[in-house]
Structures are given as structure tokens and as C-alpha cells.
């Protein structure tokens, strides 16, 4: 009986020691990216508001895309991507696996208007007012 308890204790001790996890992990699998992206506005100033922005530079032509998540009054989340490049300025609104891309039509003070066919998007500050025919949807920018 003493021998079986001694053997059982030894086996449990060895099992506990051999199952010790190495917390350091495999350092060659995860590579840390130390690059930093700075987004600038059209005047060359650093833009601190556009947290979801990234700049794509193709052949010296810069395209700035800014992603935001907006929330409708009914709680529906909508992904909105603003794209600014030398050729065009657009907004892409994605909801329910459908994306609507609207080109910028005009700017009135602090309000920007995007239009295509019967759909109009008015962006002012953190709100987006979407009109399609007689349907009106109010969206507010969220921080997720």
C-alpha cells in the first residue's frame, strides 16, 4: 500500500512538472510590426480625427480611406468608408451585405453631400443623414 501511494505520488508530481507551459511562446511565429502610419489632410497637417484611416500610395498618387461604424436609431450597425483620391471622393455604405457607393456632389459649409440616383447622404460632424426616395435614416458615428 505504501509503495502504491509512493508510486502514485511520484507519477502525479512528474505529470505536474512535465505539463508546465512555456509562457514565452514561439517568438519566430509572431512578428511585431513597428511601422507607423501618419494620415495627413489636404493641407499636410496630421489628422488626429481619422482613427480608422489608412493611406494607399500608388505611383505617387495618394488615396485616403477612412472607415467608421455608424449606428441607426433602430440599433443597426452600418459600415461607412470615405475614399478620397485625386480622381474622386466617394462614400461607401455597407449594411445587410449590400454596399452603396455614392460620389461627392457638393460641400456646404461643414456639411458634405453625396448623391447617386435617388439616394442622398448628408454628412455633418458625427451624423450621417441618408435619404432614399421617401425613406429617411439617421445614423450616428460610434466607437467600437
Determine the pLDDT at residue 49: 45
| CA angle (93, 69, 108) in 5-degree steps | 65
The domain locations on the chain are 53-142
Half-sphere exposure at residue 94, Cβ-oriented, CA atoms within 13 angstroms = 9
* pTM given for the model: 0.59
Query: Closest by alpha carbon to 82, among 103, 98, 62, 96?
Result: 103
Looking at residue 48, its pLDDT comes to: 43
Per-residue pLDDT of 46-92, as tens digits, reads 444 445 666 666 666 778 888 999 999 899 999 999 998 888 899 99
- CATH architecture classification, 53-142: Beta Barrel (2.40)
Q: Which residue has the higher pLDDT, 22 or 104?
A: 104
Amino acid at each position: 500500500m505504501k509503495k502504491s501511494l509512493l508510486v502514485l505520488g511520484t507519477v502525479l508530481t512528474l505529470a505536474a512538472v512535465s505539463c508546465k507551459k512555456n509562457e514565452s511562446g514561439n517568438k519566430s511565429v509572431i512578428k511585431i510590426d513597428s511601422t507607423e502610419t501618419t494620415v495627413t489632410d489636404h493641407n499636410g497637417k496630421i489628422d488626429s480625427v481619422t482613427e480608422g484611416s489608412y493611406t494607399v500610395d500608388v505611383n505617387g498618387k495618394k488615396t485616403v480611406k477612412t472607415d467608421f461604424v455608424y449606428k441607426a436609431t433602430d440599433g443597426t450597425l452600418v459600415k461607412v468608408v470615405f475614399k478620397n483620391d485625386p480622381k474622386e471622393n466617394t462614400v461607401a455604405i455597407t449594411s445587410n451585405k449590400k454596399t452603396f457607393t455614392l460620389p461627392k456632389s457638393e460641400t456646404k459649409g461643414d456639411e458634405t453631400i453625396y448623391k447617386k440616383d435617388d439616394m442622398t447622404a448628408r454628412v455633418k460632424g458625427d451624423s450621417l443623414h441618408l435619404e432614399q426616395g421617401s425613406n429617411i435614416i439617421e445614423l450616428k458615428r460610434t466607437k467600437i
